[in-house]
Structure 1
């Protein structure tokens, strides 16, 4: 095997596939990246047996072949190379690597025939979606996925595609995030839904960066993401997603228009006082058109900041986890304001915004 590839193309390709490599030291073959050179193309593959990633770049291939090298090692080497062509020359269990005439590496390799085959996925249903919108949607819900593996469904993001409506849902038992968007697409081959592992979903859209659209397809056990020369396959999470609609209140007794920038700044100013009790209290004064945000601890003191926020309904006091509140503001679409809907001090707080991407974030209160 002998081929030459530009350093920038190789580094980009490794950045795409490296997240698919396993950290399992007992199976070195899946901690590696498969290099396959043929007919002017270098294809890279990784897998941890749950996800598989494949990406191709142009290369000057003098002698075709394939081999497996450590993903962690090759990524570390390449990012520190000068911006010059990189040549690989391999035979047996050794791969010679050179760059800029003065840089040489000799890498131990593993046999390509031991590397797991890339899953061949024939989607039962699929749709092509604008990558920018899908990425924004994933970013808005990803942090709400649960880390509790005993409830596998909550570790994933529920993807629903029906006609031109795309919806993503995440929930961790303490909060719920729902985003949806209407997209113009003629490529939908049947409505579908799937629970996609949260980290895999995020890595998939990240791997497609720079593309205009991504094809999303599902089978009974897998979900496929494909754009340009990149293919990302992940196992679906089995089971049914909880009925999140029953958690969303049908009405509210208080509605407030929150100025996002001012509210976020106020949160940053009071959050440092939430040392032993990681929560902030919101005192909503509808008549005065303001919210007083406060936090404190017996050994630290108290902080209070007022924010102008017009509202209707009843005055109410509620306490919310400060991190959950900050993540709500960070994940919200780029709007100047959010609607805050409340039903009392011990009922969920619901934040909403409407636009190209509709956003709903529900968070359970903490005791005052």
Structure 2
């Protein structure tokens, strides 16, 4: 095997497949990157038993061949090379890498032991604008659960129906829903549950194109864009029926300036380091919302905001970490609406625009 490729192109390819490299695996080959040179192109593959990634780039191939080398070591080498031509020469047991005056020899693993990339025929496929999907995933993926005991809550529910794309995530303490219009074929429907961290990683890849194709099989989800294919396990199970949590009306509605609320929340929560709750006292008659926090060790803090309030006065306490996640998700929006039923009922934040956003937050004890 012998080929030459630019350092920048090689570094970009390694960054694309990096998420598929195993980190703490007892099988050394799972920490490696498979490279095949043939027909004027290089094929890179990684596989950590959870996800498989394949990416193709053009190269000057003098002798075809394949090899597997340590992904971490190769990445560290390439990122420290100058932006020049990099030449690989491989034997069954080693690979020599040269760039200008630098030379490295890496021990290679047997390419024959590498698992073939899964060739899947999805039952259902949909093509979506990647920029829109990325912005929507950014709004909900932090709401997915970190607990491994309930895998379904680690996922994002993706549905496409009636020209509307919708993403839903929950960790049982909060719920995030966002939707937007999308052009789809008449009657086209799509539904899948994808791990939140995986969804975010895919859409953050440097090889992302204007559109992304998402397909599902009985047990896998396949993302395809440009010369990149990303395969991950499909999360099985029934996603919680979140629509039953959304009340049809509210007793109090507050129109909030997003930037002002974010700044006030950050200032008040400085005191709430051990007790992560911030109290919101809503004075409908005075048109004022008072944010406050207290700590037995640190003291107290409070700040008032002038808001447009409809309905009754009431008080509610929320986890400020969760409230900040909501505020960050709607950053760039001028106002949002907070709808409340009572002190012990969930609060619902809403923001409308090209992407409609709803964030339901369970209260904490006052």
**TM-score using structure 1 length:** 0.97
| Residue 77 in structure 1 maps to residue 77 in structure 2 | yes
Q: Residues 208 and 230 of structure 1 are in contact (CA less than 8 Å); yes or no, is this contact kept in structure 2?
A: no
Deviation at 1:263, TM superposition (A): 0.4
Q: Residues 258 and 337 of structure 1 are in contact (CA less than 8 Å); yes or no, is this contact kept in structure 2?
A: yes
Q: Residues 338 and 351 of structure 1 are in contact (CA less than 8 Å); yes or no, is this contact kept in structure 2?
A: yes
What CA distance in whole angstroms lies between the structure 1 residues aligned with 2:86 and 2:162? 47
Alignment partner, residue 89 of structure 1:
89
Alignment partner, residue 109 of structure 2:
110
- Offset from partner CA, 1:99-145 (integer Å, 9 cap, x none): 12x11111111111111111112111111111011001111111111
SS of match in other structure, 2:269:
helix
- Offset from partner CA, 1:19-51 (integer Å, 9 cap, x none): 011123311111111111111111111111121
- Offset from partner CA, 1:268-323 (integer Å, 9 cap, x none): 11111002211111111222222111112111111111122111001111110010
Alignment partner, residue 172 of structure 1:
171
Alignment partner, residue 355 of structure 2:
357
Matched length: 366
| Residue 324 in structure 1 maps to residue 322 in structure 2 | yes
Alignment partner, residue 284 of structure 2:
286
Deviation at 1:170, TM superposition (A): 0.6
Alignment partner, residue 273 of structure 1:
271
Alignment partner, residue 137 of structure 1:
136
- Counting only pairs closer than 5 Å after superposition, residues 5-154 of structure 1 correspond to structure 2 as 5-100=5-100, 102-154=101-153
SS of match in other structure, 1:335:
coil
Q: Residues 208 and 227 of structure 1 are in contact (CA less than 8 Å); yes or no, is this contact kept in structure 2?
A: no
Deviation at 1:210, TM superposition (A): 4.4
Q: Residues 127 and 189 of structure 1 are in contact (CA less than 8 Å); yes or no, is this contact kept in structure 2?
A: no
What CA distance in whole angstroms lies between the structure 1 residues aligned with 2:236 and 2:305? 45
What CA distance in whole angstroms lies between the structure 1 residues aligned with 2:46 and 2:337? 44
Segments of structure 1 that go 5 or more residues without pairing to the other structure are none
- Counting only pairs closer than 5 Å after superposition, residues 150-165 of structure 1 correspond to structure 2 as 150-165=149-164
- Counting only pairs closer than 5 Å after superposition, residues 305-316 of structure 1 correspond to structure 2 as 305-316=303-314
What CA distance in whole angstroms lies between the structure 2 residues aligned with 1:208 and 1:193? 26
Deviation at 1:75, TM superposition (A): 1.3
**TM-score using structure 2 length:** 0.97
